């Protein structure tokens, strides 16, 4: 009942090239060579050996000390709020400094004609990014939050005033925020290129704030103590607001929800609790059971109630979800995602297969850099595939 594909990233997306100008490590002599001041065994000493010998630091110890000093300096700098926020913004929210985005002006589009298939070069038109402050009474912690939306090319043109669009809801991970999709994944650039290439139908992308702060972690659940109802916020506030203010297709066949890491868990948990609101779900590097070990920092949205955690664990309750076999379920991950995420994806795939629930598992070959497989370098590749999947699922 499942469809499994293994995708290999393009050569230009796999691994960043070595830093230009970097020097290879200096070769050192073997550590077991005799000391320079010792006479070689079995040979006469040409110079007297003095009782006092110099102690030369071994290269490995020297490197270890340098690395230790760097780590201590980094840990110390994280205690300074300004430095900490800068480092987090550099790596987590704005990795352009490490992985610059390249926007294509043209893309190849496949056109089917009577005598075969043609590939033509077409210009890439740009969509529009807008943001709003959206409040809700179901949130006790930061009740007013920012939501970003991507409006596809041509949305505001008079010729399209009567056109309605499907919506993909994107849930960020933790630590993180809705701006991650724009500054980390550059989802607007990805969508522009896919739409121009004819691989994705024009769609609205909605990026809500699911945490209320970059250091918070809600897991997108209605908190165990009832104070912050993040799931209700998405269902009763965000979706109706988007449908009221934008030209959407306002039913489940025109909506998809997905996310990465914690957002992947949230997308499945929220989506399966509300199968009439979203018919298409996807998870990138996510997990499928409520686990306090996955909660970032000192946040505690799950509590210690086992029944509550099981009620928010898709692996536990998916068999009883009405209409789940009519849904479109996508699981995206790398074959070597550190932190056990690959194993969690495979376990959930096995459970869906056992239950006879149709789904798609996409596994990507690793790059060779372990950290790459749970970072924006991989997530941008997986997000491209997920948007194509959603586009093909809309209306079905």
pLDDT digits (tens, 9 = 90+) for 128-151: 999 999 989 998 878 899 999 999
Number of domains in the chain: 1
**Confidence band, pLDDT 50/70/90 cuts, at residue 210:** confident
Q: What angle do CA 196, 199, 205 make, to 5 degrees?
A: 80
Q: Is the pLDDT of residue 334 over 80?
A: yes
Full domain range(s) for residue 149: 2-10+125-393
**276: which residues sit within 8 A by CB, 6+ positions away?**
252, 323
Question: Which segment of 248-262, 333-347, 376-390 scores lowest on mean pLDDT?
Answer: 333-347
Question: Does residue 253 lie within any of the structural domains?
Answer: yes
Question: Does residue 185 lie within any of the structural domains?
Answer: yes
User: Which pLDDT does position 2 carry in this prediction?
Assistant: 56
User: Which pLDDT does position 291 carry in this prediction?
Assistant: 81
State how far the Cα of 381 lies from the Cα of 386, in Å rounded to an integer: 9
Q: Is the pLDDT of residue 196 over 50?
A: yes
The CA-atom distances, in angstroms, between 329 and each of 2, 89, 182, 225, 287 are 10, 32, 24, 30, 14
**pLDDT tens digits for range 4-23:** 555 444 444 443 444 444 44
Q: Is the pLDDT of residue 205 over 70?
A: yes
Query: What average pLDDT does the segment 301-307 reach?
Result: 82
**Confidence band, pLDDT 50/70/90 cuts, at residue 341:** confident
Alpha helices (H) in the chain, listed in sequence order: 59-78, 81-88, 180-183, 187-197, 230-232, 239-245, 262-273, 306-311, 314-317, 341-355, 376-393
**pLDDT tens digits for range 89-99:** 555 545 554 55
Question: Does residue 67 lie within any of the structural domains?
Answer: no
Question: Does residue 27 lie within any of the structural domains?
Answer: no
State how far the Cα of 222 lies from the Cα of 229, in Å rounded to an integer: 4
Axis crossing angle, helix 59-78 with helix 81-88, rounded to the nearest 10: 110
**Phi and psi at residue 213, to the nearest 5°:** 150, 140
State how far the Cα of 204 lies from the Cα of 152, in Å rounded to an integer: 6
Q: Is the pLDDT of residue 54 over 80?
A: no
State how far the Cα of 51 lies from the Cα of 57, in Å rounded to an integer: 19
- Decide the pairing of beta strands 144-151 and 128-135: antiparallel
Alpha helices (H) in 171-261, listed in sequence order: 180-183, 187-197, 230-232, 239-245
Q: What angle do CA 309, 314, 320 make, to 5 degrees?
A: 110
How does the average pLDDT of the chain come out, rounded?
Answer: 79
Cα of first residue to Cα of last residue in the chain, in angstroms, is 17
User: Which pLDDT does position 153 carry in this prediction?
Assistant: 97
Question: Does residue 25 lie within any of the structural domains?
Answer: no
Q: What angle do CA 262, 169, 199 make, to 5 degrees?
A: 110
Residues in the chain: 396
The CATH number covering residue 312 comes to 3.40.50.1820
State how far the Cα of 253 lies from the Cα of 199, in Å rounded to an integer: 19
Question: Does residue 179 lie within any of the structural domains?
Answer: yes
Question: Does residue 261 lie within any of the structural domains?
Answer: yes
State how far the Cα of 252 lies from the Cα of 395, in Å rounded to an integer: 9
**206: which residues sit within 8 A by CB, 6+ positions away?**
147, 148, 149, 167, 168, 169, 170, 238, 242
Provide the β-strand partners of residue 359: 2
User: Which pLDDT does position 11 carry in this prediction?
Assistant: 41
3-state secondary structure of 281: strand
**Confidence band, pLDDT 50/70/90 cuts, at residue 393:** very high
Query: What average pLDDT does the segment 192-207 reach?
Result: 97
Question: Does residue 349 lie within any of the structural domains?
Answer: yes
State how far the Cα of 10 lies from the Cα of 65, in Å rounded to an integer: 39
């Amino acid at each position: 009942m499942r469809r499994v594909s293994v995708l290999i990233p393009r050569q230009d997306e796999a691994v960043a090239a070595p830093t230009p100008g970097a020097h290879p490590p200096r070769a050192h002599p073997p550590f077991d060579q005799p000391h320079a001041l010792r006479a070689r065994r079995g040979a006469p000493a040409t110079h007297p050996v003095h009782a006092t010998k110099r102690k030369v630091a071994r290269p490995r110890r020297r490197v270890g000390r340098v690395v230790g000093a760097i780590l201590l300096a980094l840990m110390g700098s994280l205690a300074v709020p300004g430095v900490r926020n800068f480092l987090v913004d550099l790596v987590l929210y704005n990795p352009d400094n490490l992985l610059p985005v390249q926007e294509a002006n043209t893309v190849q589009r496949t056109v089917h004609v009577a005598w075969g298939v043609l590939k033509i070069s077409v210009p890439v038109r740009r969509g529009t990014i807008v943001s709003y402050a959206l409040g809700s009474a179901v949130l006790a912690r930061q009740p007013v939050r920012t939501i970003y939306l991507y409006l596809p090319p041509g949305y505001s043109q008079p010729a399209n005033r009567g056109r309605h669009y499907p919506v993909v809801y994107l849930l960020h991970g933790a630590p993180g925020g809705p701006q991650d999709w724009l500054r980390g994944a550059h989802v607007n650039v990805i969508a522009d290129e896919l739409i121009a290439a004819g691989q994705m139908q024009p769609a609205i992308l909605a990026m809500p704030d699911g945490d209320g702060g970059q250091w918070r972690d809600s897991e997108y659940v209605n908190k165990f103590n009832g104070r912050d109802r993040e799931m209700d916020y998405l269902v009763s506030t965000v979706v109706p607001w988007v449908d009221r203010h934008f030209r959407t297709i306002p039913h489940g066949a025109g909506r998809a929800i997905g996310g990465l890491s914690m957002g992947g868990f949230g997308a499945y948990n929220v989506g399966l609790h509300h199968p009439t609101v979203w018919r298409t779900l996807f998870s990138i590097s996510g997990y499928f059971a409520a686990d306090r070990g996955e909660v970032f920092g000192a946040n505690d949205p799950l509590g210690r109630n086992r029944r509550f955690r099981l009620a928010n664990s898709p692996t536990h309750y998916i068999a009883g979800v009405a209409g789940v076999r009519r849904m479109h379920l996508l699981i995206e991950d790398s074959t070597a995602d550190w932190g056990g995420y690959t194993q969690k994806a495979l376990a959930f795939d096995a459970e869906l297969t056992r239950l006879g629930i149709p789904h798609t598992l996409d596994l990507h070959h690793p790059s060779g850099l372990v950290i790459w497989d749970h970072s924006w370098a991989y997530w941008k590749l997986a997000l491209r595939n997920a948007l194509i999947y959603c586009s093909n699922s809309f209306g079905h």
